[in-house]
Amino acid sequence: MLALSRTCCAGFTGGIIVGALIGIMMLSNLNVMPTLADQTGGRRAAPGQAPGRPLGASAGLTEVPVLSKKDAAAASGLKSAHLADGCSQVYLDVGSNIGVQVRKLFEPTRYHGAPVLKIFNSVFGKVEQRVRPSSQSGLCAFGFEASPVHQERLEKVQSVYQSNGWRVKFFVPRAVSISDNEKITLNLNSKHNLGASAVWSRGDSKSEGRGSVEVQTLDLPTFVATEIRPRVWKPTLPEVKPYVLMKMDIEGSEYIVLPKMLERGLLCQGIIDMIFIEWHPSYVPNGKNLTKQLRARLRDQNRCHPGTPTLVSAIDDETYNRDDRSLP
């Protein structure tokens, strides 16, 4: 009987010790596991705002001076990466043509008097800040151009800029739309190579000196939703404020793309902070009314509730559109 009591007591005592050890181990694990706030630099996205966020130094995200998803993932240590990871500031040049607007962004002193420089200075900071390598400034630019006429030039700009440490990527020839990889007919203006449209149908193409070519589409709303909105970055210069600016000059396709972006809630501050648009009402049937309706929707202050709608700038900068300046 005494032996049985001793055995029971020993078993009971051993159980208490084992349970205590398990509890200590669980508490230790809880203390060292990073919370979501730790992983996102302590910031949670508010309703209606972008989930894109800075990563604190404790998260270990390295600077990403490359552009491909594969290389960005390898550099950052993330299992999957967004194209804009590492970019706190993003310029989306939708309708790049010869790429001069991107050149104004990174080489502003060579384009004196260009109206867009005021916006660049306001939202992306001083010139001396923007000309630093993107790994320091956090500034990146992504351009989209449908016309293959400009492909060689844009690829040259991209190559030279990347060699200078500026993260620039042009998607060319890709016609922005609301679906991916569909073949469409692009109408070219071979008179002066300024402007190419997937929607215009004015007059006889041969008599007006226009030809056409097949190009593939790029789903711009999905690009913004999957590559820009959820991006993560490591804070760099203290004066750098996260910002996304979009220029849209797509020769009539704005009447296809903008309604879908509004429908998906992408034209809100924190996702796209500001946009300036060149409208082309003469390219589409009932274009004036369509423009009026879209402008009214863009002005609607309740559509991003509880957030704030994207700022719409009236700027139209067509300066230096035949730029022939040498690359740096």
Residue 87 CB neighbours (<10 A): 25
The Cα–Cα gap between 141 and 76 comes to 19
User: Residues 6 or more apart from 20 whose CB is under 8 A from it?
Assistant: none
Residue 56 CB neighbours (<10 A): 17
Q: What is the pLDDT along the chain (328 residues), one digit of tens a residue?
A: 434 344 444 444 445 444 544 444 443 443 333 332 333 333 334 334 445 666 643 333 333 334 445 444 444 344 448 999 999 999 999 999 999 999 999 999 999 999 999 999 999 999 999 999 999 999 999 999 999 999 999 999 999 999 999 999 999 999 999 999 999 988 887 554 566 777 765 544 443 556 888 999 999 999 999 999 999 998 777 778 999 999 999 989 999 999 999 999 999 999 999 999 999 999 899 999 999 999 999 999 999 999 999 999 999 999 999 998 999 9
Tell which phi-psi region holds residue 95, choosing left (phi > 0), alpha (psi between -120 and 50) or beta: left
CB 263 within 8 Å of CB 218: no
**What is the layout of strands, in order, in the sheet containing 167-171?**
167-171, 139-144, 89-94, 243-248, 274-277, 311-313
Let me know how long the chain is: 328
DSSP class of 162: H
| Ordered DSSP codes for 74-99 | HHHT-SS--TTTT-SEEEEEES-TTS
Domain map of the chain by residue range? 54-313
Residue carrying the six token digits 């916006």: 119
pLDDT at 253: 94
pTM, to two decimals: 0.77
